[in-house]
Chain A
Amino acid sequence: MPREIALRGRGLVPGRAEGEALVSPLAFGFWHGIDPRTGEIVDERNPLRGRNAAGKVLVFPYGRGSTGGSSVFLEAVRCGAAPCAIVNIESEPIVTIGALMAKEFYGKQIPIVDRLDRNPLEVIESGDVVLVDGDRGEVVVLKRR
């Protein structure tokens, strides 16, 4: 039986999604961070470089870098290459606006939860299956091992 860990936090963007976790130990920016057409991570400084974020639950501590990130995120949504959910320690507008725009302009829900009761980077590893509930601010982690 996989070990199940439930985390509680702040639901910023509503919706529910489940997917495989992709965990960036570093703060992440979408501009020059992801190829919006494919979902491939292209940030030269990130250990996830070359991995694909499309349909994954993308976990990273904070947003960083250029303020154009939200438009890159929306383009990834249009191309069907966006993550299915995002979990952060703290989400700044650069991260959340792309998801709000996705709902308003493309009718797609990409839940975002932050401020969890445990550090998500210490609990979630790439490959775990994660359920993100943006309505209730909950994250359930099914440990791969």
Chain B
Amino acid sequence: MYLTKEEEAMLDGERGEGLAIAMRILAKVGDMYGAERLIPIESAHIVESSYQLTGDSGIEVFDRLIEAGARVSVPATTDPCAIDFERWRELGIDEGYAHRQIKLARRIVRIGCAPTWCCTPYLHANVPKFGDQLAWSESNAVAYVNSVIGARTNRYCAYLDTMAAIAGRIPEFGLHLDENRKGTVVVRMKGISELRDEDYPVLGYYLGSELGNEIPVIVDMPKGANPDRLKALGAAGAAAGSLAMYHIVGLTPEARTLEEALGGDKPKDRLEFDKRTLESTRERMCSASGGEVDLVATGCPHASLGQIQRLVRLMEGRRVKDGVEFWVSMSKYMERLIGEMGYLDALTASGIRVISDTCCNNAPLRQWGFKRMVTDSGKYAYYAPTNLGVEVAFTSLEGCVRAAVEGVL
């Protein structure tokens, strides 16, 4: 990979050891993936904020970066942690564990990252525009900013994101380049005139589990997709597979027409997504078919204001049944907003627990001994069996409320 004189100097340690570490990793990645050069990035979003992911090696990595004088050079936001910084005791999280998470978080902020602890930075705090080059991890965010906004990032990962944030650069390969953003498989919606909220994660789950690294182009998409729905689609696809980008003809910015989305190439495959596929995929997402429910969880990815408003309305005059936990996860920023709006009190009064800075995928929650979880998140449906050891039923937000109020599926 070609390096400018300035980049050579950074690599050689002339601009400090922190930049040299970052450049060593970036130069190797560039060589590995055949990049010709480094390009400047507008922002980064990093995922090694969760102690559940990093363990003590995360603390050791950031200790060395701080010692080496590393600082991020572009805006860098942070993914959820393994604890809610204010409620970890009530979540039953071990004190030693919580303190190690706090240590990790302090070090991440010390090198200049913003303590957003949120997986939807694209809705606030770190909002890219069309064409921006980025180094983002967090798979749902990667799918969203590539597809819905038309910004450019590969599915980066823990530590590479921070190295890019320090250097303010990323090797130019993959989705940074026009030719790799073309759709490769056409998925035609057949006989589907309407998709409800709860159908979007199912479509995403299908794309992720069936298409591997391909870039789907969705044709004949019914009207009604909105940011919450697309967020849910991408999150499910990126969890169940490696979905980093999709096009929806007539909706996403690089797919005004099918021809534009395919970039003049012939698709490798053409698939049809019909009601049967929708239902069979939904069944695959569920491991629980009936019985008592002990956990209902929403807010994965972190809940938006619109989703919280809907939840408040649905819970009006209703209460979560005793013995059932109903959790909604969001950013601390969102919690502050809904606190001032009175929604936080309304949710708490109805028996819902608000969890911020973290979520059911990132927090150690086995001590709760949950057996059966109901969720409207395709990403929770994918990870909860492993993280929590639960059976999962995937449903709508209305279905979640019903299960929480009645205590059964």
Which residues of A does B touch, CB under 8 Å?
12-13, 27, 31-32, 36-37, 42-44, 62-72, 74-75, 77-79, 90, 92-94, 96-98, 100-101, 104-106
Report yes or no: A104 in contact with B21, Cβ–Cβ below 8 A.
yes
Report yes or no: A104 in contact with B24, Cβ–Cβ below 8 A.
yes
Q: What are 12 A-B pairs at a CB distance below 8 A?
A: A27-B241, A31-B53, A65-B242, A66-B139, A66-B383, A67-B138, A71-B48, A71-B54, A97-B29, A100-B25, A105-B57, A105-B64
Q: Which residue of B lies closest to A72 (CB)?
A: B53
Report yes or no: A62 in contact with B58, Cβ–Cβ below 8 A.
no
Q: Which of A27, A44, A90, A93 has most B Cβ within 10 Å?
A: A93
Contacts of A64 in B (CB 8 A): 241-242
Report yes or no: B25 in contact with A68, Cβ–Cβ below 8 A.
no
Contacts of B25 in A (CB 8 A): 97, 100-101, 104
Q: Give the distance in Å from the alpha carbon of A63 to the alpha carbon of B238 in the complex.
A: 12
Report yes or no: B159 in contact with A75, Cβ–Cβ below 8 A.
no
Contacts of A74 in B (CB 8 A): 54, 57, 61, 158-159
B226 at the interface (CB under 8 A from A): no
Contacts of A100 in B (CB 8 A): 25, 28-29
Q: Give the distance in Å from the alpha carbon of A97 to the alpha carbon of B170 in the complex.
A: 14
Q: Give the distance in Å from the alpha carbon of A19 to the alpha carbon of B18 in the complex.
A: 35
Q: Give the distance in Å from the alpha carbon of A98 to the alpha carbon of B50 in the complex.
A: 16
Contacts of A66 in B (CB 8 A): 47, 139, 238-239, 361, 383
Q: Which of A12, A71, A90 contacts B57 (CB 8 A)?
A: A71
Which residues of B does A touch, CB under 8 Å?
21, 24-25, 28-29, 32-33, 47-48, 50, 53-58, 60-61, 64, 79, 137-139, 142, 154-161, 212-213, 238-239, 241-242, 361, 383, 385-387
Report yes or no: A105 in contact with B60, Cβ–Cβ below 8 A.
yes
Q: Give the distance in Å from the alpha carbon of A27 to the alpha carbon of B160 in the complex.
A: 21
Report yes or no: A67 in contact with B155, Cβ–Cβ below 8 A.
yes
Q: How far is the CB of A79 from chain B (nearest CB, A)?
A: 7
Q: Give the distance in Å from the alpha carbon of A27 to the alpha carbon of B210 in the complex.
A: 12
If A62-B213, A75-B58 touch, does A32 touch B387 (CB 8 Å cutoff)? yes
Beyond A97-B159, A106-B57, 16 additional pairs, beta carbon < 8 A: A36-B55, A65-B139, A67-B139, A67-B158, A68-B48, A68-B53, A71-B47, A74-B57, A75-B53, A77-B57, A93-B154, A93-B160, A100-B25, A100-B28, A101-B61, A105-B64
Q: Which of B54, B61, B157 contacts A67 (CB 8 A)?
A: B157
Contacts of A63 in B (CB 8 A): 242
Q: Which residue of A lies closest to B22 (CB)?
A: A104
Q: Give the distance in Å from the alpha carbon of A74 to the alpha carbon of B162 in the complex.
A: 15
Q: How far is the CB of A63 from chain B (nearest CB, A)?
A: 7
Q: Which residue of B lies closest to A63 (CB)?
A: B242
Contacts of A105 in B (CB 8 A): 57, 60-61, 64
Q: Give the distance in Å from the alpha carbon of A34 to the alpha carbon of B154 in the complex.
A: 24
Q: Give the distance in Å from the alpha carbon of A98 to the alpha carbon of B142 in the complex.
A: 19
Q: Which of B55, B137, B241 contacts A78 (CB 8 A)?
A: B55
Q: Give the distance in Å from the alpha carbon of A81 to the alpha carbon of B231 in the complex.
A: 35
Report yes or no: A79 in contact with B55, Cβ–Cβ below 8 A.
yes
Q: Give the distance in Å from the alpha carbon of A31 to the alpha carbon of B32 in the complex.
A: 23
Q: Which residue of B lies closest to A95 (CB)?
A: B157
Q: How far is the CB of B66 from chain A (nearest CB, A)?
A: 13
